[in-house]
Amino acid sequence: MGLINKCLFPAAGYGTRFLPATKAMPKEMLPLVTKPLIQYGVEEALDAGITGMAIVTGRGKRAIEDHFDISFELEHQIAGSDKESLLDGTRDLINRCTFSYTRQNEMLGLGHAILVGETLIGDEPFAVLLADDFCLTESDSVLAQMTALYEQYRCCIVAIEEVPLDQVSRYGVISGVEEREGLFRVNEMVEKPEPAAAPSNLAIIGRYILTPAIFEVLRNTAPGRNGEVQLTDALQTLASQGQVLACRFDGKRFDCGSVEGYIDATNVLYRRTIHSESEQ
Ligand code: G1P
């Protein structure tokens, strides 16, 4: 076992930007080509050597649990047909990972969702993956890059990328001291600042490695931006003690929480699918 064995997936949000598609279907089940967003997330965690998938769900999210389970009727129906292999990847995940679930019954923010997940994590460092930030990398996944850093530094790590200054108000934004190329010791973190108040244009994307110290800090973190308990605010408390790193990752992120980013990711993946099929 590595040092990071569990990944928390906050997946209770409503996905209102995708209405009406997300009226009765979890936004995490929206597909990029044919695979749901959350399955890409689980594959990424597994690529980082993580097998414990801890999912914070909410009302209307049961399709996620059903997805990571055997569907006897369907599998019986397609057994022996050319469709059978389409479920191989999902079946492999079910065999190799454990899935545990708890429910966030009020939407009180990302920080609150993490705290609700404490029961699934316990007293150990863990990863957090926001499935609507979809990342494509050439080799190691973003989480694999981050768990390797954790082995070395043993503190909280957030993934960051540069965004245009007029977009910083969509993100948690950091500033810090660059200790080595692409790796910052964070001293300031602000959730969704106005451009004029932003400490930089380095935005947090939905990949984190957190130490269990975060839970106690979250319990003592007052609601912040939008009246929600913000993970960024809790991390700021640890950053002021020098305990947070931010890393630029190798790869490309798509904001699949927006229709535009989702369509971009779909197009890129579709072209890759066509390309790899034509090579076969
Ligand atoms: C959350 C975090 C924010 C981070 C973002 C990445 O915001 O609160 O700090 O930059 O995820 O996607 P949300 O997109 O849930 O509003």
- C-alpha 182 – ligand 1 centre gap (Å): 20
- Residue 158 Cβ inside 6 Å of ligand 1? The answer reads no
Q: Is the pLDDT of residue 49 over 90?
A: yes
Q: Is the pLDDT of residue 280 over 70?
A: no
Domain boundaries defined on the chain? 6-279
Average pLDDT rounded to a whole number, residues 40-66: 96
Ligand 1 atom closest to 257 (CA): 14
Q: Is the pLDDT of residue 276 over 80?
A: no
Q: What mean pLDDT is reported for the chain?
A: 95
- Residue 172 Cβ inside 6 Å of ligand 1? The answer reads yes
- C-alpha 95 – ligand 1 centre gap (Å): 31
The structure tokens listed for 224 are: 């912040």
Phi/psi of residue 38, nearest 5 degrees:
-70, -25
Q: Give whole-number Cα distances, 101 to 62, 91, 124, 175, 206, in Å.
A: 10, 19, 17, 34, 19
Q: Whose CA is nearest to atom 7 of ligand 1?
A: 171
Specify the pTM: 0.95
Ligand 1 atom closest to 133 (CA): 12
- Residue 191 Cβ inside 6 Å of ligand 1? The answer reads yes
At 170-185, the pLDDT tens digits run 999 999 999 999 999 9
Among 219, 243, 208, residue whose Cα is nearest residue 41:
208
- C-alpha 172 – ligand 1 centre gap (Å): 6
User: What percent of the chain has pLDDT above 70?
Assistant: 99
Residue 45 · residue 34 · CB < 8 Å? no
Q: Is the pLDDT of residue 278 over 80?
A: no
Phi/psi of residue 46, nearest 5 degrees:
-65, -40
pLDDT at 221: 96
In three-state secondary structure terms, 280 is: coil
- C-alpha 202 – ligand 1 centre gap (Å): 13
pLDDT at 84: 87
Phi/psi of residue 106, nearest 5 degrees:
-135, 140
The CA R_g of the chain, rounded to the nearest whole Å, is: 19
Q: Which range, of 89-93, 121-125, 253-257, 272-276, averages the lowest pLDDT?
A: 272-276
- C-alpha 197 – ligand 1 centre gap (Å): 17
The CATH class, in words, for 6-279 is: alpha beta
At 204-262, the pLDDT tens digits run 999 999 999 999 999 999 999 999 999 999 999 999 999 999 999 989 999 999 999 99
Q: Is the pLDDT of residue 279 over 80?
A: no
